[in-house]
């Protein structure tokens, strides 16, 4: 095994369904031991890309390697070395936690199944619930079980498709502690997520919208490359501020609690624009650092819809 070769190295990855190009010439590199956050709105092509990477879908275009294997010709070898956690819970509700893990171990033909399952139960804190039916588990515990099942065969690459959707904040935090512990041991992780706080926990990011890769790099690199200026508006009647700002396409506007964030290309002058268009408005305007969410709102706003 060449440990200097990226775990994922694909170029021009393309997938079409009928006349619609769902993934359009996407290129991604993920180094071994790295956690890469894969971000984008619903329908952006994240799941389709993940399925091509792990050999479940054949690309219509592009080339590359995953764990040293060609994604077109070595799909079976890739599947044996990858753990894939889907968006939906894919285990059996009417089996216990332990029975589900034993079933997965049997499917992989693993020797010493009892020891392997016991170790997985212990690592994910599931031993005390080993006899509980999977269907009765909360979202957070189902997540732990799904992760344990993905890790049974000791994969080198973990593909996680929105793994924390529908779980509470503590379960999300515990999950990410597990992911970082695994990465510290050398596991490579590609994780799709909608949560900006989770994106900030990743070593690198890739942002896809309407099938096209729009940004890639560390969080700081993505923010710097966007070249945005961002302001925060505070005060009364912020609904009026939203309506006014949305009338001009240069401003990308998003409510943030009791404030409004406004971003634009570097060089724009929001205070001057407001002085001209609403000189008596009761809003305080303050320049702030651009955040990942500001960048992703801007990227999505400028992306071209690929539907149809």
All structural domains of the chain, each given as residue ranges with its CATH number in brackets, are: 8-222 (3.40.50.300), 228-289 (3.30.70.2380)
Residue 165 in this model has a pLDDT that exceeds 90: no
End-to-end distance of the chain based on CA atoms, in angstroms? 43
Residue 54 in this model has a pLDDT that exceeds 60: yes
pLDDT at 6: 95
Mean pLDDT of 280-287: 94
pLDDT at 41: 85
The answer to whether the beta carbons of residues 303 and 296 sit under 8 Å apart is no
Concatenated DSSP letters of the chain: --TTS-SEEEEEEEEEETTEEEEEEEEEEE-TT-EEEEE--TTSSHHHHHHHHTTSS--SEEEEEETTEETTT-HHHHHHHEEEE-SS--S-TTSBHHHHHHHHHHHTT-SSHHHHHHHHHHHTT-GGGTTSBGGG--HHHHHHHHHHHHHTT--SEEEEESTTTT--HHHHHHHHHHHHHHHHTT-EEEEEES-HHHHTTSSEEEEEETTEEEEEE-HHHHHHHHTEEEEEEEES-HHHHHHHHHTSTT-EEEEETTEEEEEEETT--HHHHHHHH-TT--EEEEEE---HHHHHHHHHHHSPP---
Query: Would you state the structure tokens that stand for residue 67, as one six-digit string?
Result: 């764990």
pLDDT at 305: 63
pLDDT at 90: 82
Can you say how many angstroms the Cα of residue 26 is from the centroid of all Cα atoms in its chain?
A: 15
Q: Per residue in 132-148, pLDDT tens?
A: 999 999 888 998 899 99
From CA 189, how far away is CA 121, in angstroms rounded? 21
- In this structure, the strands spanning 188-193 and 35-39 are parallel
CB contact burial 251-264 (16+ within 10 A = b; e otherwise): bbbeeeeebbbbbb
Q: Per residue in 227-261, pLDDT tens?
A: 999 999 999 999 999 999 999 999 999 998 899 99
Which of 18-27, 224-233, 287-296, 298-307 has the weakest average pLDDT?
298-307
The whole-chain average pLDDT of the chain stands at: 91
CB contact burial 288-301 (16+ within 10 A = b; e otherwise): eebbbbbbbbbbbe
Mean pLDDT of 77-93: 88
Sheet holding 212-217, edge to edge: 82-85, 157-161, 188-193, 35-39, 204-209, 212-217
pLDDT higher at 63 or 298: 63
């Amino acid at each position: 095994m060449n440990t200097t070769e990226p775990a994922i190295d694909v170029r021009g990855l393309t997938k079409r369904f009928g006349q619609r190009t769902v993934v359009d010439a996407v290129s991604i590199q993920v180094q071994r031991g790295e956690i890469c956050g894969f971000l984008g709105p619903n329908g952006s092509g994240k799941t389709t890309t993940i399925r091509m990477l792990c050999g479940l879908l054949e690309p219509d275009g592009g080339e590359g390697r995953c764990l040293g294997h060609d994604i077109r010709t070595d799909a079976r070898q890739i599947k044996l070395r990858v753990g894939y956690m889907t968006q939906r819970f894919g285990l059996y509700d009417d089996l216990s936690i332990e029975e589900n893990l034993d079933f997965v171990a049997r499917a992989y033909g693993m020797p010493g199944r009892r020891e392997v399952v016991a170790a997985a139960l212990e690592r994910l804190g599931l031993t005390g619930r080993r006899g509980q039916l999977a269907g009765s588990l909360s979202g957070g515990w189902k997540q732990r079980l799904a992760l344990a099942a993905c890790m049974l065969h000791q994969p080198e690459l973990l593909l996680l498709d929105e793994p924390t959707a529908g779980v509470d904040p503590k379960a999300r935090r515990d999950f990410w502690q597990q992911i970082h512990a695994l990465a510290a041991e050398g596991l490579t992780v590609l994780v799709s997520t909608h949560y900006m706080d989770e994106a900030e926990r990743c070593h690198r990011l890739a942002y896809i919208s309407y099938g096209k890769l729009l940004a890639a790099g560390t969080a700081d690199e993505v923010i710097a490359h966007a070249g945005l200026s961002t302001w925060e508006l505070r005060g009364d009647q912020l609904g009026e501020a939203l309506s006014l700002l949305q009338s001009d396409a240069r401003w990308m506007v998003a409510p943030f609690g009791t404030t409004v964030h406004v971003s634009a290309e570097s060089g724009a002058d929001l205070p001057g624009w407001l002085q001209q268009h609403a000189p008596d408005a009761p809003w305080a305007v303050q320049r702030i650092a651009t955040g990942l969410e500001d960048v992703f709102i801007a990227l999505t706003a400028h992306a071209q819809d690929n539907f149809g």
